[in-house]
Amino acid sequence: MSLSMYSSLVPVTLRSLNNLSAILAKGAEFAKSKNIEESVLVSGRLAPNMFALSRQVQIACDMVKGGAARLAGVEMPKYEDNEATFAQLQERVSKTIAFVESIPSAKFDDSETRQIKLQAGPRELEFVGDAYLHNWVLPNLYFHVTTAYNILRHNGVELGKIDFLGG
C-alpha cells in the first residue's frame, strides 16, 4: 500500500498548525500573566536578520495553504500579512486549517506527478508534486513552526518538546 499525497499532506500539516496554535496560546497567556505587551513577543526574533514571530507564523500558514492549493489544483486564498496580535495570528492559523479541510481528498489524486512552479523571491522553482511536498512544503513548515516555538521559548514561554510534537 502506498502513502497518498493527501495523507502525506493534510493530517501532517494540520497537526503542525494545531500544535502551532497551542504554542501561540501559551505565548498569549505568558504575555498576559507577566504583563508583557503582546507586541514584544509577536515582533520578537532570535537574531536581527531573522523574521519576527508574526512572519514565522505567516510563512508556516502560507506553506500549508500553498502546498494544499497547488497539489489539489485549486485556487489559493490570499492573506494580507498584517497580523500584529496573538488573536490575529490564531485567526490566520484557523483560516488556513479551514481552507485545507475544505479541499476534498480526491483533488489530491495523482498530484505526486503534477508539475509545480512557484516564485521564491527572485527565483522561479519547478518541482514534481511529490518532491514539492517532501522537499519544499514540509521542511519549510517545520522550519517556521520550530522557529516560532524557539522565539517564544527564548523569551521565557514555558514550552517543551511535547508542545511542538503535540499530545
10-residue mean pLDDT profile of the chain (167 residues): values are: 88 98 98 97 97 98 98 96 98 98 96 94 95 97 98 97 92
Q: Does any domain span residue 110?
A: yes
The residues with which 126 forms a beta bridge, in sequence order, are 117
pTM for this structure?
0.96
Q: Does any domain span residue 55?
A: yes
Provide the CATH number for the domain around residue 59.
1.20.120.450
Phi (first) and psi of residue 66, to 5 degrees: -65, -45
Distances (CA, A) of 166 to 14, 15, 22, 52, 93: 11, 8, 9, 23, 16
The predicted structure's pLDDT at residue 46: 96
Closest Cα to residue 5, out of 119, 80, 107, 97? Answer: 107
Q: Does any domain span residue 48?
A: yes
Cα 27 from Cα 29, distance rounded (Å): 5
Cα 110 from Cα 101, distance rounded (Å): 19
Closest Cα to residue 17, out of 150, 142, 160? Answer: 142
Q: Does any domain span residue 3?
A: no
Q: Does any domain span residue 78?
A: yes
The residues with which 119 forms a beta bridge, in sequence order, are 124
The predicted structure's pLDDT at residue 106: 96
What range does the domain containing 143 cover? 9-165
Cell numbers linked to 154: 527564548
Instruction: Give the count of domains, the chain.
Output: 1
Residue 41's CB is within 10 A of a number of other CB atoms, namely 23
Beta strands in the chain (DSSP E): 115-120, 123-128
Q: Does any domain span residue 1?
A: no
The predicted structure's pLDDT at residue 1: 53
Cα 90 from Cα 30, distance rounded (Å): 15
Cell numbers linked to 142: 517545520
Cell numbers linked to 83: 497580523
The predicted structure's pLDDT at residue 157: 98
Closest Cα to residue 66, out of 76, 54, 58? Answer: 76
